[in-house]
Amino acid sequence: MRAVICTRYGPPEVLQIKELEKPMPKDHEVLIKVSAATAHIGDTRIRKADPFLVRIVFGMLNPRKNLILGLEISGVIEAVGKDVQQFKAGDEVFGLTGFSGGYAEYICLPGTVEPGTGQKKGMIARKPAHLSHEEAAVVPSGALTALKNLQKAQIRAGQHILIHGASGSLGTYAIQLAKDYGAEVTAVCSRSNIELVRSLGADRVIDYTAEDFTASDTRYDIVYDAVIKAKPAQCRKILKPNGVFVNNSRLSKMEEADLLFVKGLLEENKLKPVIDRTYRLEDIVEAHRYVDTGRKKGNVALTLG
């Protein structure tokens, strides 16, 4: 099978396509033929070994041999292990890989808990029928991270939330999730993305190139710094006395129930993915180079079809 290998830590050019042996599913796993993946900022951080913790997990001097990046996938189950009852061959699924493995024509992911561990390394659910594989692939990481932040903040109807980085992957999902909870949303983005965030439900928009949102007279119940670029002390100045600041740190574990909740919102058309660009797997270097610019709107998809 074709797969993208991270040959060393560094710029996008360290990514190379290589032929590897097709994996075989264990008894608790399913074999998925990958139709789409994503060029995710998490993948670029592993590629660059930024933060340093990446080296502890994936290799100190160089990445471990044949490291395949790819946090998110969508595809079709080709085979199932003998212990898997929930899925069958032919099912279209989407989900998280557990940090790596998505940049390949095939991947094995848990279809049930691993015996003796009670754990799943990665998670999948059936793909909403109305979504393309590219649309489904860009959902899991961004939507679940935004959801866990809103859950951490204990968001509820009637609250006013400010979302910094509202036009990115996390921000575009956070707007829609916050509106589903019944909150009032103020989105912070650049002028060029104002119409996008309004189309997703933002009630008010602040152009950060023209206005310092941390100097606002408005007080918020929640400030969500989705891009981790604002100073927490400044953000806390615009919070109500019992307001909450969150920024993707110290989140609770993503659960299969969270993925199924997001799947339900997708099927009810209460949540929609935003795709900026789509690249072929062969153009992975160009895709990572674009993500590195920091100017993407929503998500960048990879097609393996």
Supply the pLDDT for residue 121. 82
C-alpha of 160 from chain center? 24
Q: What percent of the chain has pLDDT over 90?
A: 94
- Residues with Cβ within 8 Å of residue 182, at least 6 apart in sequence: 156, 157, 158
When pLDDT is cut at 50, 70 and 90, the band that residue 104 belongs to is very high
Q: What is the pTM of this model?
A: 0.95
pLDDT at 65: 95
Structure tokens at 26: 């264990």
Contact 173, 72 (CB under 8 A): no
Note the Cα 258 to chain centre separation in Å.
13
pLDDT tens digit sequence for 120-133: 789 999 999 999 99
Question: Whole-angstrom Cα distance, residue 138 to residue 43?
Answer: 13
pLDDT single digits (tens) 238-279: 999 999 999 999 999 999 999 999 999 999 999 999 999 999
Q: How far apart are CA 222 and CA 244, in angstroms?
A: 5
The answer on pLDDT for 119 being more than 80 is no
For the chain, list the domains and their CATH numbers. Answer: 2-139+273-303 (3.90.180.10), 147-246 (3.40.50.720)
DSSP annotation of 12 reads G
Model confidence pLDDT, tens digit, residues 138-175: 999 999 999 999 999 999 999 999 999 999 999 999 99
Using the predicted structure, report yes or no on whether residue 117 has a pLDDT greater than 70: no
